[in-house]
Amino acid sequence: MIEKILIEIKNFLKEMSPNLTEEQNSRMYKIINPDISNYIVYGIKTKDIEDIVRAVYNSNIKCTYEEAIEIFKLLAKSNIEEEKFAAFLFLNRFKKHFNVKTLELFKEEFLTYCYTWSVCDSTCIRVLGPFLGKKGNETLARQIIADWSKSDNLWIKRASMVILLKIIMQNKNFEEVYVFKIVEEMLKYAAQNYIEKGIGWLLKTCSKYKPEVIYHYLIKNKKHLTRLILRYASEKLSEEKRRSVLKK
């Protein structure tokens, strides 16, 4: 069963792979900016990967959660971007079985086989955030965010913020003291570009629901926030407030 599903997914992805020009390919790699040199990106849209995963899952409905975990592990090790996406999208088909061990599995894969912001963010937005944002998982979510935010691994640390912002998006609200405490902790690592951008993204997400709160936070702390964080965080504010935030 495992080998059959792996072959189906990989073959479908190859067939779906578009013929990109050298310029298109170069631009795509520049945007994704993988950590390793032998990384492969087909250029398939996420929706198309989802369609492939859905079709394979529907034709193999007897696949167990344990088998799905093995499929996830094997695809996550791939140096092909779309196979990594297929890994977490396929496992997400079994989300009713998710538990603490599932989260540990994702953390291990981030630690070992995550090479791009796109895999990190998409996993958190489409899988981890929705699971941890479910009613009853509030305490677990805080534990995971706290634990992951302390990791020395760039992608696990970024993932903690992306999980949080996804939960905020689901709730359309946030606890100010809690979020600002996370931001203050993360600022210690803002020299890392993807952490810096993650902070800005988190604050921008919060600004959709409490724009005045975020505006006053940015004004109060602008001397301690980088220009990039201020630009990202103020993006959804009114033009007048954005100019005020960015004024030197």
Contacts of residue 42, Cβ cutoff 8 Å, sequence gap at least 6: 13, 14, 16, 17, 18, 80, 81, 82
Of 126, 185, 190, the closest CA to residue 154 belongs to 190
pLDDT for res 1: 87
Which DSSP category does 80 fall into?
B
pTM of the model: 0.94
pLDDT digits (tens, 9 = 90+) for 93-114: 999 999 999 999 999 999 899 9
What is the residue extent of each domain of the chain? Answer: 1-97, 100-171, 174-248
Q: Give the model's confidence band at 119: pLDDT under 50 very low, under 70 low, under 90 confident, else very high.
A: very high
CA dist., res. 26 & res. 160, Å (int): 30
Cβ atoms of 144 and 132 within 8 Å: the answer is yes
pLDDT digits (tens, 9 = 90+) for 180-205: 999 999 999 999 999 999 999 999 99
Alpha carbon 86 to chain centroid, angstroms: 14
The angle at the Cα of 7, spanning 5 to 12, to the nearest 5 degrees, equals 95
CA dist., res. 46 & res. 2, Å (int): 23
pLDDT for res 248: 76
pLDDT digits (tens, 9 = 90+) for 135-182: 999 999 999 999 999 999 999 999 999 999 999 999 999 999 999 999
Burial 9-37 (b: 16+ CB within 10 A, else e): bbebbeebbeeeeeeeeeeeeeeeebeee
